[in-house]
Amino acid sequence: MKNIVLIFIAVACFGSNGARAEKTSWKIPAAAEKFQLDGKLTEDFYQKNAPRELVGASGGGALKQKTQVWVAMDRENLHFAFKCFEGQMDKLVQKIKRKDAQVYLDDCVEVFIDPDLSRKKYYHFILNTLETRYDSYCDGDNGDNTWDGEWRSAVFCGADHWAAEISIPSTQFLFKSVFGLNLCRERHAKPAENGSLADLEGGFHSPDKFPRFSGLPLANGEYVKAVNLRLFADSKSCFRAEIANAGKKAEEFKVSFAPAHAKACQKTESLRPGENKKIVLDYPTLDGSCDSYELSICVGEKLLYGKKEALPHLLAINLPGDSFFSGEKFSCHVKDDLLAGKGGFSLEIAVEGNGKNWLKTKARLEPRMDLILPALPKGDYSLEMTLLDEKGNFCDKLKKAVRIICLD
C-alpha cells in the first residue's frame, strides 16, 4: 500500500482517569511520520508516542480489556489507530460481511465526526474485525446509511489483541476551526463493554459530549459555508456553493461539478478578503448511465472541498429491514416537490433474481405508494424502480438488494 505522510496529535487534554473530555479542546500540533495502512502498528511512532486509553462509555471507568488509540492528521487525511486488547480472541463476534449492515453487532471500532461542532449533525464510521464497513450521516435521531464516505481501512488480528487503522480524507467535510470527534469500541465477549474517548453517560450517539478538537492545518468550513446538489424531475441538476474568503488577500475560487461519463461544468470567481458569494452551476439533462458525480472547490491550487459520491435520488424505497418475508409490504415515496403542478409520471417496477425476471410492471406514480412484493422463493433479489415523465423519458432509477426469508 502507499505510504501516508501524517501529522500526529499529541493527546494532552485527555487524562487516563477519564476526565470529561467535552469540557476541553484537543489542540493538534504538527509532526510528520510515514505510515503504511496495514493494521500492524509497527511504525516507530507507535513505540515512541504514548497512546491514550478508552474509558467506559457510561461512567468513565477503566475497561477490563483496554483499548489504546492514536489520532493523526495531514493536510488531506484524518488517521485513526486502535489497538484492542482481548483475552478471549476465540470469542470475538465476527459475523457481518455486508457493507452498511448491522456491523455494530460484531466486535468493532467506531469513529464519530462532527465537523462544525453542531452537536447534532455528524458522520459515523464502523469497522469490524472482518474489515466490514459501515458509514452513515446522522442528524439528531435520524441516521442515513445510504451516505457513503471516502475512506480506507486495515485490520490485523494478533494473539492477544486486534488492531484497526482508518484513514479519512478531511476535504469531504466542512471543518470549522473547532470540531467534535469521538473514538469508540464495542466488545461483545463476556463481560461485554463499550469504550469511548469520553464518558458519554450512555450511548455512543451523544454528539453533545464528543471531545472538541482544534488546530487543523486548514479549517475549510471557514471558506466553504454550504454546498447543495439538487436533482429535478427533468433530470437536470443544480449545484450551489456558498463560499467566503476567510484569508487576508484576494483569492480565486474554482468550483467544478462533473457527473460520471459527462463533461464537467466549472465556474471561477475572485473574492476580496471577507467577501461572500453564492456560486450556482446548472447542468443539462442527465441520462440513466450517470450514477455518480465528483465535485471540488479550490482556492488557487489548494483543494478546499471535494468528494465523489452517488447522485441523489428523486425516489426513496422504504424496506422493512435487511430481509423480509415474501409478500410483505414496503413503500416508495417521492422526495421534494416533484409532483407539484405535474402529472402523468409513472413508475416501472422490476424484480430479478436467480437468473430470472420475477416481476415487471408499470404504475401511475403517487407521492407515496404502498407496494407488495410478489410471492418469491427464499434467496437474494434485485428490486429496481425507474421513474418516467409523461412522455416516457427517463428521470431517475433506484436499485435495492432484497433478501427473502421463508416463513416457518
Spatial contact of 271 and 251, defined as CB atoms under 8 Å apart: yes
pLDDT band at 1 (very low <50, low <70, confident <90, very high): very low
Distance between CA atoms of residues 243 and 271, nearest Å: 9
Q: Which three cell numbers stand for residue 123?
A: 458522520
- Residue 207 is classified by DSSP as G
pLDDT band at 337 (very low <50, low <70, confident <90, very high): low
The pLDDT of residue 392: 81
How far lies 383's CA from each of 287, 291, 375, 393, in Å?
20, 17, 14, 20
Least confident of 89-93, 280-284, 286-290: 286-290
Query: E strand or H helix at 240, and its extent?
Result: strand 237-244
Order of strands, edge to edge, in the sheet holding 356-364?
323-325, 394-405, 379-388, 346-353, 356-364
Distance between CA atoms of residues 287 and 184, nearest Å: 42
* pLDDT higher than threshold 60 for residue 274: yes
* Domains with residue ranges and CATH for the chain: 3-214 (2.60.40.1190), 223-310 (2.60.40.10), 315-405 (2.60.40.10)
* pLDDT higher than threshold 60 for residue 17: no
Residue from 172, 165, 189 nearest 79 by CA? 165
CB-based burial of residue 140 (10 Å sphere; 0-12 exposed, 13-18 middle, 19+ buried)?
A: exposed
Tens of pLDDT, residue by residue over 176-207, are 999 999 999 999 999 999 999 988 887 899 99
- Which amino acid appears at position 328 of this protein? E
Order of strands, edge to edge, in the sheet holding 292-299?
265-271, 251-259, 292-299, 302-310
Q: Kindly tell me the number of DSSP H helices and DSSP E strands found in the chain.
A: 1, 31
Tens of pLDDT, residue by residue over 31-68, are 467 778 999 998 877 887 788 899 998 888 899 999 99
